[in-house]
Structure 1
Amino acid sequence: QLAAAVLLHDCVAVEKNSPLRAGASRLAAEKAWQILDGLRWRTLEISAVAHAILTHSFSANMAPETLEAKILQDADRLDAIGMVGAARCFYIARRMGSGLYDPLDPLAEDRPLDDKAFAIDHFETKLFRLADGFQTAAGRRLALERQTRLRSVLAMLLDEI
């Protein structure tokens, strides 16, 4: 069930700036249900996979209730922090037309944080907050390691700018 949830958790692509973003995990859970039902999985197993997919998303703001759902949520959030998280942040910011940083106030000391306008603002508005919400001990340990890397990336970038 966990393998199916991992494979299908992003089976519906919704852009970060889409008004449907908050419902992306619900759409993916519904699509996964259709796929697994078509493969003649039992309803109880499909339900477990759908729950893991539904609750994995940060945007959905739903608590996972099963170990599989907790593992999927942790794994998904680990992708958002560390070196991969920094790369994803910069890549998505560019795709959305955001700047890398505010050249007059990169740390937002005299302006509100705006991660829609500046990529590094997203570190404070979301990425650094993720490590607090991990569900498993292994996830928390890995999150703290990756958060340290992410803080180093930001520090190196600020040093250069």
Structure 2
Amino acid sequence: MRSVASRFAPYQELAEHLLQATISEPMDAAHDVGHLLRVWGNAERLMAEEGGDRSVLTAATLLHDCVHVPKDSPLRLSASSMAAEKAGRVLDSLNWTAGDVEKVRHAIEAHSFSAGIVPTTLEAKILQDADRLDAIGHIGIARCFHVSGQMNRPICDLFDPGADRRALDDRAFAMDHFQTKLLTLTGSFQTATGRRLARVRHDKVRDFLNGLLEEVLPDAMTVSH
């Protein structure tokens, strides 16, 4: 993991230690080391314009998914709080100050879409934006279909793929997740830089969905927003 940890310079030693706490948990391809590196890359872009404490964001990024809870688990809503608790224990063992531990814990708790916690610190806002950027755009599309495939969800409803005459249900169809979540995220970004980057990725998701709708059912209604 040294090559991965080196991406977090000048905190590569911290990163190498914290990676062990994360990879000790089961991981899927949508929440793996690649996801951590992409979120970190997003965080670096945000920090370049917004500022933020790099050590806090290093720890928060590496530990934000350190407790793995499957998407269909009844414990899913508690995943970020469980990860925050574990992160606190890990950082306490490294003799971090109580104030910095709390900053990391809050950032991890608030990053989750499911938890619905409003981030109140710059670092928490950056982590939430960085994580949500990885949920949209081309990588967000790939992750959506990967998770849906793991759960044996079909791509779409055969007769109403755009949900024009039925309620959306992303637990039943992968395509429904575009309208129930992916295309709703842009308005939730916390930083000006995050909002700018999200708009570009949002448009890619919208265009992909419209193209997919045209292919699965030629007269399907497209999405304008």
Normalised by the size of structure 1, how large is the TM-score?
A: 0.98
Note the alpha carbon deviations across 1:43-88, whole angstroms, 9 max, x for none: 1110110010011101110100000000000011111111111111
TM-fit CA distance, 1:152 = 1.4
Structure-1 separation of matches of 2:99 and 2:180: 37
Determine the structure 2 residue equivalent to 1:130: 185
Instruction: Name which structure has the greater RCO, CA cutoff 8 Å, separation 6+.
Output: 1
TM-fit CA distance, 1:148 = 0.3
Determine the structure 2 residue equivalent to 1:15: 70
The answer to whether residue 118 in structure 2 is matched with residue 33 in structure 1 is no
Structure-2 separation of matches of 1:91 and 1:143: 21
Q: Structure 1: state its 5+ residue gaps.
A: none
Identity of aligned residues (%): 57
Amino acid at match of 2:119: P
Determine the structure 2 residue equivalent to 1:63: 118
RMSD of equivalent CA atoms: 0.7
TM-fit CA distance, 1:159 = 2.1
Amino acid at match of 1:78: L
Structure-2 separation of matches of 1:49 and 1:156: 40
Amino acid at match of 1:130: L
Structure-2 separation of matches of 1:111 and 1:156: 21
The answer to whether residue 121 in structure 2 is matched with residue 121 in structure 1 is no
The answer to whether residue 146 in structure 2 is matched with residue 91 in structure 1 is yes
Determine the structure 2 residue equivalent to 1:158: 213
The answer to whether residue 165 in structure 2 is matched with residue 110 in structure 1 is yes
Larger radius of gyration: 2
The answer to whether residue 103 in structure 2 is matched with residue 48 in structure 1 is yes
Note the alpha carbon deviations across 1:67-112, whole angstroms, 9 max, x for none: 0000000011111111111111111111111110011110011111
Determine the structure 1 residue equivalent to 2:38: none
Structure-1 separation of matches of 2:116 and 2:213: 31
Normalised by the size of structure 2, how large is the TM-score?
A: 0.70
Determine the structure 2 residue equivalent to 1:101: 156
Structure-2 separation of matches of 1:95 and 1:128: 22
Number of aligned residue pairs: 161
Determine the structure 1 residue equivalent to 2:197: 142
Q: Structure 2: state its 5+ residue gaps.
A: 1-55, 217-225
